[in-house]
Structure 1
């Protein structure tokens, strides 16, 4: 059962891309100058990841902080693209504001939920009738239930990956089999330090895990990246999706090189939506134990 307990403008020229970066002949019929793109970007990993990708393209970007009107600015052509939101947020905001004509150009990164424990070193040690602490809220509960399903600790009547309202709002009413008869308790993450020691496992995002003394790179299990509905995406105008500048940037944001950079730069607090050339070492399946390399999982790029 569940118990409910100002805009900063940065202009930078990125002209020193690698020698192997493809030369792009830009169609000047698109909006903006042919040698630059205006991208609205979120704080934290978005900016760092975008700058890395831009250096590889050798193109010049005008980067602005994404405000509440970011999607509308891309739709009306005052910005070329935006990279600050995951898929449910993008779909929800545009539907609520009546914004049409936008498309996902690249699926880039996930800030993954992970399953952690102070007392158990592997998933098979979590006992029958054990207790699991999850963050309070509709979306955190849904993500937590999908992660427990990924761990084979329970079974839902929906598969992970959908972005419909029904997919994103699963509750224990969607549980069709509870293999370990777990008790799931929702609590505000600010109260986690007081109760983590009294439960068998806890589900957290990387920041909360680190605040509570866990290594975000070494959970018992974490959300899978491929097909994750909470993937942060680059969005742009559907009409200009074939703009060579946007195509090049999107290709770099989904590249194996970018994935390898994310793995190296963020230590598990951010994971790439697309696989790197070398398999990651963070556990991604219930059969992988903490500290052991994950087995090869060949996955097609979206």
Structure 2
């Protein structure tokens, strides 16, 4: 049995600001980029191309995909796959394609009480971020930890894949109680649960080391991989091919490992995470059901 509870409502994400940098000239490749890791990774990859490529880096605003589709920019690197597919579908953009899969900001399973997955108790409690996408990612991570079983495998990007809920839970090996809360409430309730699922920023804000969760999302086939996109008809442009290969290179993977210490992981990792230990709890649990949410 998996019991679900809810606290509060999800918060809105802050607006991202990016400054313009780079140089302009004939044959320059214009790439629209997000702030933070996107820009750092792109700048590192661009430096590695040396004289082979001249890149102008500009801020990726809300119209970034349209700009690429309309030809006023060559590529964009600021969004994960579901965001890319959702935005382009909403805007009626059909001629963009994924050119490179670069990095993941992974959800992790953390605990202040336990040091291994095997220690999480039967009828234990797990705190997860509120919202449709965070719940889905949390459930897939618990399945990766072999603490429950879904009727879907991790990796799909269809709406059904990205919106799994307790209705998709087939078995619960530990009969977990899963409580959803706004991450801003985590400091108030995190001490009352056995484990918590968070992104790296929330983990750090709550005193955890983002690089050392009990388990984190796998990088290969992760549907939340951040991608470089461009016009499908330009996919063979040698400049874009050079940049895409560099972004997916082992050297960039090593840079991501060293620079971000687990808060960002390469979509094409040099090192694969060790397999999850086989859980001693092999007996199937009961189908999930939802209980009324408690008052915040």
Shorter-chain TM-score: what band? Answer: 0.7 to 0.9
User: Contact 2:18–2:35 at 8 Å: present in 1 too?
Assistant: no
Per-residue CA distance 1:236-278 (angstroms, 9 max, x = gap): 00000000000000000001111011000000000000022xx
Partner of residue 169, structure 2: 175
Partner of residue 11, structure 1: 22
- Shift of the 7–188 alpha-carbon distance from structure 1 to 2, 3 Å rule, reads closer
SS of residue matched to 2:212: coil
SS of residue matched to 2:72: coil
Q: TM-score, normalised by structure 1?
A: 0.85
Q: Which moved more, 1:2-11 or 1:56-65?
A: 2-11
Unaligned runs of 5+ in 1: 14-31, 289-302
CA distance in 2, matches of 1:48, 1:211: 22
Q: Detail structure 1 runs of 4+ shifted over 6 Å in the superposition.
A: none
Unaligned runs of 5+ in 2: 8-16, 279-296
Aligned residues: 265
Partner of residue 235, structure 1: 229
CA distance in 2, matches of 1:2, 1:241: 45
Partner of residue 140, structure 2: 146
Partner of residue 61, structure 1: 55
Q: TM-score, normalised by structure 2?
A: 0.87
Partner of residue 213, structure 1: 207
CA distance in 2, matches of 1:139, 1:33: 42
Deviation of residue 140 (structure 1)?
0.2
Partner of residue 16, structure 1: none
CA distance in 2, matches of 1:260, 1:111: 16
Q: Is 1:287 aligned to 2:277, yes or no?
A: yes
CA distance in 1, matches of 2:204, 2:180: 19
SS of residue matched to 1:160: coil
CA distance in 1, matches of 2:247, 2:82: 19
CA distance in 1, matches of 2:170, 2:113: 28
Per-residue CA distance 1:31-73 (angstroms, 9 max, x = gap): x932x21000001100000001001112221111100000000
Partner of residue 296, structure 1: none
